[in-house]
Chains A and B, each alone.
Chain A
Amino acid sequence: MTAWLLSGLLLFQGMGGGPRPVKQAGGPKVAAPAFTLREVPIGLTAKHRYGDRTSKYILSMTGNGVAIVDFDNDGKPDLLFADGVAPVLYKNSGKGFVDVSAGSGLTARPWGQGVCAGDFDNDGWTDVLLTYYGASRLYRNEQGKFRDVTGAAGMPTDGKRFATGCAFVDYDRDGSLDLIVSNYVGFDLATAAQPGATKYCTWLGLEVFCGPRGFPTDRPILYHNDGGGKFSDVSEKALKGISGLHYGLGVVTADFDGDGWMDIYIACDSTPGILLRNNRDGTMTDVAVEAGAAYGADGEELGSMGVAAVDIDGDGRLDLVKTNFIDETPSLYRNLGDWFFVDATQETGFGRDATAVGWGVGVMDFDMDGRPDLIMANGHIYPELKAAYRQSKSLYWNGGGVFATLRTGAAMASRGLAVGDLDGDGVAEVVVANMNASPSVYKVEGKRGASIGVRLEGTRGNRSAIGARVKVIVAGKTQTEEVRSGGSYGSQHDFTLLFGLGTAKEAERVEVRWPNGETEVMGKLEAGAMYRMKEGAGVVGRVPWR
């Protein structure tokens, strides 16, 4: 399959250009990476529709997420885009991507926001939640066809909640995937104020859409999977300590304290972030303030959109990275353990570039050197800015705990971003959803190390293995990753985890801690393939890289 991506590359040489380092004073120095990200056309032709050409309402700002998900179980990751008019589903044919939205069972509905995936009924077919302004829609995957089961699941089918990020997560470890949905602002299209109407409707002298300040805040919703296809809203009793003063956007789930119970982080716009510690008794408590993960480096409320959990320094603890508004840099919170984070934005090199409005964020070891890198989708929120509305992507290359900051790719008004190996060559592509334009796909070009992939299937817990933690030990160093639903900005990364081995020919040891807490050791795994692992059965398949 690599061939069709490469042929596209030749056709579009020069498109977007290679990475450019951001030259800003201060911060630690690090060399540039030996790879580039090149835009490749893979058949994603549908132009997404979202909002209008002016920023009359905040609803026009948020845009869409993207999911990399194998909806037809053919082993090849497909793509699902949320959209302002109707979701778009592309099937990965192995030779390119084909729009199969018609007849997919996904229905047209305005103001689609984010998307997350998980097999909530454990039938072996990955289901999805699409978030909306209005009412989010739960789609059950029935052997490759989706069916809207929102009402049947007991979830609201109408309303005016402005849902954005989401994730399936088995927070109570009962073996069924529950759902966390973040909500942005209390917004009513019928009564919303016009640009310039109040002090919350201007930006640097421009009359722009109002908000988020000035709008009522909202709270996240936690749905418990009751079984039998039913969900119930347990937010009131299960989510503790949330002030309610939040404008929620991106959601990531991760086991931040390594206790085997999934925790949740919600990136919030212009308000403190939410860090929900799993109390292991069916409840979660917001500890973001005490943990030091609520504010920016100077104690300011950040305009946060996207979020990722990543073990940046190889200490086995998952750190947090957030994308933020312009004049703020992305944030890195280093996890020191025991629910204590410190802002490490400056010393790690994340504090160099404050010129982007960051949205989706993906973690991927692009050069497979054994250290995770990050990619961020950027785009301003006010179309009135014309050229400045569109921004190139940000690449943070891990030079060993310190990151080089580069801008790469064509300038677009980007929102969602997901990473996944679309062509099975052992390194992930980057898929970016753009406002009122076709999506962009980037492929790594250049020198890179060896890699392995890990694809998990749960048997005792949830079948998607969401919440499973994988440790890969190479040359004495441990890489830690988890299978997650959601993440980024309203997006879904591929469930297959990729690990860089550098110059090593094999991973010395691979451990999987399944969502129920049991650990399986897989032993040595040779580089150059994706390994399928089944809970209780070890490695059940090996697919060599193409």
Chain B
Amino acid sequence: MALVLALLLFGAQLGANDWLQKGIAALKAGNVVEARAALEEAVKLAPGEPVMWLAVADARLRSGDAALAMAAMEQAGKLAPGSPMVDRGRLMFARRMGEVGQGLLDARQEKRAEAVLQVAVKAFPKKAELWRLLGLALYAQGRNAPAVAAFVAAIDLAPEEESLYAGLETLLPAGKAVEARLAKYVAGHAGSALGWYLLGLERGDAALWEKAWASDAKFWPAAFALHKRAEPGRAIELLERVVELNPEYAPAYYALAQLYAKQGARGKALAARKRHHELVKETQ
């Protein structure tokens, strides 16, 4: 508010650099509205200075105007093509777009996250992480097909990056394009428990979960998936191993309780139900 007042009263007396400094200070303090007002003033006073555009791009992005932010970034590029400062700024800007997108996702603002990330992947189509985040934003809106496409785009940019495949877990089976990529990944990474596990989900093939479990006896999601196909005795064994490896995974206790109950082991079922309930309460 003080900055806005200053702008109204003394706007004519402050130079572009003054506004730049004020804007950067406000950004650092987390005052996005004031930062943006100051930096918009700075670019008005010095429209030929790339640094002004880089700074206002950041402020615009943080205030949710991804498209205007991108325009500012492009303006900086036009003013100083090939400049190391602008190139560095672009890299930082790409990372910032990812951070903003992630922040919006954390705040369950999926639509706004998608808006930012759509601009981001258009501007930085070679950034796998931005595609991955876009996939998450689309998935959170129940738009599974475009979410898969975004994850696939990310994987194609960095096929060796295992974490990019993880986003597909709840979308599988997702079709031949995904299956081909997962198959290719495990062909080159025979010891990847995640890879075998996901390929198992894609194909609905419990033997591949066995492979995942054999690859890494600590990779509990494979054991959890396997229990659903196993006969009760083995399912209990697997789930008991899951809770040993991940004692805070509430669904495993509930699944165990179900199996104990069906076997007539009421005491064990009761204990598992109680533990499940405690864990659910702890997360609230």
Cβ of A199 within 8 Å of any chain B Cβ, yes or no, is yes
Chief secondary structure at chain A's binding surface = loop
Chain A residues 352 to 387 lying within 8 A of chain B, measured CB to CB, are none
Cβ of A292 within 8 Å of any chain B Cβ, yes or no, is yes
Assess the B110–A205 pair: CB atoms within 8 A: yes
Residues of A within 8 A of B142 (CB): 204-205
Closest to A207 in B: B111
Chain B residues 234 to 271 lying within 8 A of chain A, measured CB to CB, are 250-251, 253-255, 257-258, 261-262, 266, 269-270
Assess the B107–A199 pair: CB atoms within 8 A: yes
Cβ of B44 within 8 Å of any chain A Cβ, yes or no, is no
Assess the A205–B140 pair: CB atoms within 8 A: yes
A245 and B281 in contact, given A289-B273, A290-B273, A292-B261 (Cβ under 8 angstroms): yes
What is the distance, in angstroms, from B14's C-beta to the closest C-beta of chain A? 36
Residues of A within 8 A of B274 (CB): 289-290
What is the distance, in angstroms, from B101's C-beta to the closest C-beta of chain A? 14
What is the distance, in angstroms, from A223's C-beta to the closest C-beta of chain B? 28
Assess the A205–B141 pair: CB atoms within 8 A: yes
A340 to B274, CA, bound (A): 13
Assess the B110–A294 pair: CB atoms within 8 A: no
Cβ of A425 within 8 Å of any chain B Cβ, yes or no, is no
Across the interface, B255 reaches (CB within 8 A) one of A290, A292, A299, namely A299
Interface residue tally on B, bucketed by range:
20 to 34
A297 to B262, CA, bound (A): 13
A342 to B253, CA, bound (A): 14
Residues of B within 8 A of A205 (CB): 110-111, 114, 140-142
Total interface residues on A, using CB and 8 Å? 25
Assess the B254–A299 pair: CB atoms within 8 A: yes
A202 and B108 in contact, given A290-B273, A298-B255 (Cβ under 8 angstroms): yes
Cβ of A133 within 8 Å of any chain B Cβ, yes or no, is no
Cβ of A272 within 8 Å of any chain B Cβ, yes or no, is yes
Cβ of B21 within 8 Å of any chain A Cβ, yes or no, is no
Cβ of A39 within 8 Å of any chain B Cβ, yes or no, is no
A292 and B273 in contact, given A199-B108, A204-B142, A299-B254 (Cβ under 8 angstroms): yes
Cβ of B166 within 8 Å of any chain A Cβ, yes or no, is no
Residues of B within 8 A of A343 (CB): 258
Across the interface, B277 reaches (CB within 8 A) one of A199, A202, A289, namely A289
Assess the A295–B110 pair: CB atoms within 8 A: no
Residues of A within 8 A of B266 (CB): 340
Closest to A291 in B: B273
Assess the A204–B255 pair: CB atoms within 8 A: no
Cβ of A301 within 8 Å of any chain B Cβ, yes or no, is yes
Residues of B within 8 A of A196 (CB): 109
Cβ of A7 within 8 Å of any chain B Cβ, yes or no, is no
Assess the B261–A342 pair: CB atoms within 8 A: yes
What is the distance, in angstroms, from B248's C-beta to the closest C-beta of chain A? 13
A245 to B276, CA, bound (A): 16
A54 to B266, CA, bound (A): 48
Residues of B within 8 A of A289 (CB): 273-274, 277
Q: In the complex, which of the residues A207, A292, A301 has the most CB atoms of chain B within 10 Å of its own CB atom? A: A292
Residues of B within 8 A of A157 (CB): none
A204 to B142, CA, bound (A): 6
Closest to A297 in B: B258
Residues of A within 8 A of B13 (CB): none
Q: In the complex, which of the residues B107, B250, B254 has the most CB atoms of chain A within 10 Å of its own CB atom? A: B254
Chain A residues 334 to 351 lying within 8 A of chain B, measured CB to CB, are 336, 340, 342-343
A204 and B107 in contact, given A298-B254, A299-B280, A342-B258 (Cβ under 8 angstroms): no
Assess the B273–A301 pair: CB atoms within 8 A: no
A204 to B261, CA, bound (A): 36
A289 to B114, CA, bound (A): 39
Assess the B281–A299 pair: CB atoms within 8 A: no
Residues of B within 8 A of A301 (CB): 280
Assess the B108–A299 pair: CB atoms within 8 A: no
Q: Interface code B80-124, partner A: CB below 8 Å = 1, 0 otherwise? A: 000000000000000000000000000111110010000000000
What is the distance, in angstroms, from B227's C-beta to the closest C-beta of chain A? 12
Residues of A within 8 A of B140 (CB): 204-205
A292 and B257 in contact, given A204-B110, A205-B110, A342-B262 (Cβ under 8 angstroms): yes
Residues of A within 8 A of B107 (CB): 199
Residues of A within 8 A of B258 (CB): 297, 342-343
Cβ of A143 within 8 Å of any chain B Cβ, yes or no, is no
What is the distance, in angstroms, from B259's C-beta to the closest C-beta of chain A? 10
Residues of A within 8 A of B110 (CB): 202, 204-205
Closest to B113 in A: A205
Residues of A within 8 A of B250 (CB): 299
Cβ of A243 within 8 Å of any chain B Cβ, yes or no, is yes
A294 to B278, CA, bound (A): 13
Residues of A within 8 A of B270 (CB): 290
What is the distance, in angstroms, from B232's C-beta to the closest C-beta of chain A? 13
What is the distance, in angstroms, from B243's C-beta to the closest C-beta of chain A? 12
A245 to B278, CA, bound (A): 13
Assess the A292–B269 pair: CB atoms within 8 A: yes
A343 to B262, CA, bound (A): 10
A295 and B254 in contact, given A243-B281, A245-B284 (Cβ under 8 angstroms): yes
A297 to B281, CA, bound (A): 17
A295 to B262, CA, bound (A): 17
Closest to B271 in A: A290
Closest to B140 in A: A205
A301 to B254, CA, bound (A): 12
What is the distance, in angstroms, from A339's C-beta to the closest C-beta of chain B? 10
Residues of A within 8 A of B141 (CB): 204-205
What is the distance, in angstroms, from A198's C-beta to the closest C-beta of chain B? 8
Closest to A288 in B: B277
Residues of A within 8 A of B (CB): 196, 199-200, 202, 204-207, 243, 245, 272, 289-290, 292, 294-295, 297-301, 336, 340, 342-343
Other than A205-B110, A298-B254, give 8 A-B pairs with Cβ distance below 8 A: A199-B108, A200-B108, A204-B142, A289-B273, A292-B261, A292-B269, A299-B280, A336-B261
Q: List 22 A-B contacts (CB under 8 A).
A: A199-B108, A199-B109, A200-B108, A202-B111, A205-B114, A205-B141, A206-B111, A245-B281, A272-B277, A290-B273, A292-B261, A295-B276, A295-B277, A297-B258, A298-B254, A298-B255, A299-B253, A299-B255, A301-B280, A340-B261, A340-B266, A342-B258
Residues of B within 8 A of A (CB): 107-111, 114, 140-142, 250-251, 253-255, 257-258, 261-262, 266, 269-270, 273-274, 276-277, 280-281, 284
Question: Lowest 3 A-B CB distances belong to which pairs?
Answer: A299-B254, A205-B141, A199-B108
